[in-house]
């Protein structure tokens, strides 16, 4: 029972380790058990598996055909995994024998992984047929380093260029023009006092024969006219400010209300 538990724990540990190694760049072509042939085009494809590091962090990478414990069999042209998601290469028949232990390694030129080593993504093991070489005698020409093209490094360094795009212009309406002082006048609360002689009627409408008829207006003030009269009618109305000469007519228009003081 205990032995079984330990075996399961170790299996989970190594499975997690394999997932961590392949996290980020996932090579799905060639897939496990697939076959390529020496001297013919072989396709390599990869995707971002959504876990860190992302392809944008991996950037420019070198690619190689390997076997066993990271034994290089043939170098493949570098690629920017951010820009491209596949490439093709032609296995050299003299680079190794027919075998099912081949795999592809994609190694970043800048991103470091565990133990300060450059990050590497791996493909599953696949089969190569039509091969005539040997693992014991590597082919020097197949192991020659392929320089990273300048075009790859330049496109990566100059990619982040800030651009400004104008989407539209927001127009702010101007405020309406102010009216003239004649059209925008402030009404003032005025008080008018009409004085009529004793012989006049005591009705609410002032008599036309009043000896003293004046109308005064002021803002928030009470204008008072004192005269020798027996009846005083007080009326309050909201009128516009006007000169004394034009107020007689306005004081007689409309209804008049107030208090009548009799001797």
Question: Phi, psi at residue 222, to the nearest 5°?
Answer: -110, 115
Q: Residue 12: CB partners within 8 Å, gap ≥ 6?
A: none
pLDDT score at 171: 53
pLDDT (tens digit, 9 = 90+) per residue, 3-21?
Answer: 444 344 444 434 444 444 4
pLDDT score at 205: 45
Distance CA 106, CA 119 (A): 8
Q: Between residues 248 and 65, which one has the greater pLDDT?
A: 65
- The two structure tokens encoding residue 35: 């076959």
Buried b (16+ CB within 10 A) or exposed e, 165-203: eeeeeeeeeeeeeeeeeeeeeeeeebbbbbbbeeebeee
pLDDT score at 113: 80
Nearest to 192 by CA among 124, 130, 254: 254
Q: Between residues 133 and 248, which one has the greater pLDDT?
A: 133
CATH 2.60.40.10 domain position(s) in the chain: 2-157
Q: How far is CA 197 from CA 213, 246, 249, 257, in A?
A: 10, 22, 18, 18
pLDDT score at 155: 52
- CB contact at 8 A, 97 and 131: yes
pLDDT (tens digit, 9 = 90+) per residue, 24-49?
Answer: 899 999 999 999 999 999 999 999 99
**SS3 category, 3:** helix
pLDDT score at 86: 98
Q: Between residues 12 and 63, which one has the greater pLDDT?
A: 63
pLDDT (tens digit, 9 = 90+) per residue, 83-118?
Answer: 999 999 999 999 999 999 999 999 999 999 878 899
Residue 250 burial class via C-beta count within 10 angstroms: exposed 0-12, middle 13-18, buried 19 and up: middle
Q: Which CATH superfamily is domain 2-157 in?
A: Immunoglobulins (2.60.40.10)
pLDDT (tens digit, 9 = 90+) per residue, 169-186?
Answer: 445 455 555 544 444 444
Q: Between residues 170 and 71, which one has the greater pLDDT?
A: 71
Q: Per-residue pLDDT for 200 more than 70?
A: no
pLDDT score at 23: 60
Q: Per-residue pLDDT for 192 more than 50?
A: no
């Amino acid at each position: 029972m205990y032995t079984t538990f330990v075996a399961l724990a170790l299996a989970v540990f190594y499975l997690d380790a394999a997932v961590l190694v392949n996290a980020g760049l996932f090579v799905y072509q060639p897939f496990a058990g697939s076959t390529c042939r020496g001297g013919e085009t072989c396709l390599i494809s990869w995707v971002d598996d959504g876990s860190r590091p992302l392809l944008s962090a991996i950037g420019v990478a070198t690619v190689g055909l390997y076997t066993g414990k990271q034994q290089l069999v043939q170098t493949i042209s570098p690629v920017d995994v951010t820009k491209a998601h596949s490439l093709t290469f032609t296995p050299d028949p003299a680079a190794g024998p027919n075998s099912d232990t081949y795999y592809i390694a994609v190694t970043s030129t800048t991103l470091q992984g565990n133990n300060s080593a450059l990050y590497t993504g791996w493909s599953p093991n696949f089969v190569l047929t039509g091969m005539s070489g040997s693992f014991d005698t590597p082919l020097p020409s197949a192991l020659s380093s392929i320089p990273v093209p300048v075009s790859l490094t330049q496109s990566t360094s100059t990619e982040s260029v800030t651009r400004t795009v104008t989407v539209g212009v927001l127009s702010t309406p101007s405020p309406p023009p102010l009216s003239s002082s004649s059209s925008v006048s402030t009404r003032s609360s005025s008080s008018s006092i009409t004085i009529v002689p004793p012989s006049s009627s005591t009705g609410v409408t002032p008599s036309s024969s009043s000896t003293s008829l004046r109308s005064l207006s002021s803002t928030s003030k009470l204008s008072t006219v004192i005269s020798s009269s027996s009846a005083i009618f007080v009326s309050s109305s909201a009128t516009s400010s006007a000169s004394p000469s034009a107020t007689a007519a306005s004081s007689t228009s409309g209804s008049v209300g107030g208090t009548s003081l009799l001797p």
